[in-house]
Amino acid sequence: MGRARGTQEHDGLRSERLRLRPWTVADAAFRRRLWAERDPRVPAGRRLTADGSPSLADMEAWILGYEPEPTPGLLVVELVEDEAPIGYCGLVRDSVARSGDPELAFEFLRTSWGHGYATEAARAVVARAAEVGHEHLVATVREWNTASLTVLGKLGFVDTGEREHDPVHGDSLLLRARLR
């Protein structure tokens, strides 16, 4: 693993260029835009429908009910010199592999791709995960998602060889990183 470069800030994290902070209701439109931008290979239930579902109110309800578990949960990412969200990054419960290890997740607006932001944000989250005592993290990623696989590789995630076959949306690979 690379050296930890994130620092803790209130309920969030800081890195050289980024601030990672908890969600507020005002982030509903941002979260809906992420859904609207999702790749057509993402399963339909996780993309915005033609008639605009989930709605802004649905997104607000999700934010109001969101519990940041496991620590530090999912955090909204902003540039330090700006207050507009560009993505999110953090930990979710490992639902697919059921290993019990937290799962790393990240997603950024297309306008911010290609600047190393996902790698930088994820490094801060991985450092925090190690500080709070998580021993391993997992990640699930579709085999066609080269950008995500590149980010995960830089963070020390390795392919476990486990995969969920999906001829429609692409196989999901299970990756794992040891933190200590």
150 binds ligand COA (CB under 6 A): yes
Is 157 near ligand COA (CB under 6 A)? no
- Looking at the Cβ atoms of 23 and 117, the one nearer to ligand COA is 117
Number of residues in contact with ligand COA under rule CB under 6 A:
17
Q: Residue 57 or 168: which CB sits closer to ligand COA?
A: 168
**From the list 114, 135, 171, 178, which residue makes contact with ligand COA (rule: CB under 6 A)?**
114
The DSSP output letter for 17 is S
Select from 4, 30, 96, 107 the one that contacts ligand COA (CB under 6 A): 107
**Residue 13: Cβ-neighbour burial (10 angstroms; 0-12, 13-18, 19+):** buried
**Residue 8 or 145 having the CB closest to ligand COA:** 145
The answer to whether the CB of 99 falls within 8 A of the CB of 138 is yes
By CB neighbour count within 10 A (0-12 exposed, 13-18 middle, 19+ buried), where does 174 fall?
A: buried
Task: Compare residues 14 and 47 and give the one whose CB is closer to ligand COA.
Answer: 47
Q: Which of residues 115-144 bind ligand COA (CB under 6 A)?
A: 115-119, 141
Our CA angle for 174, 65, 12, nearest 5°, is 70
Does residue 15 bind ligand COA (CB under 6 A)?
no
Strand, coil or helix: 60: helix
Dihedral sign of CA atoms 110, 115, 118, 121 in order: negative
Residues in the site for ligand COA, rule: CB under 6 A?
106-108, 113-119, 141, 145-148, 150-151
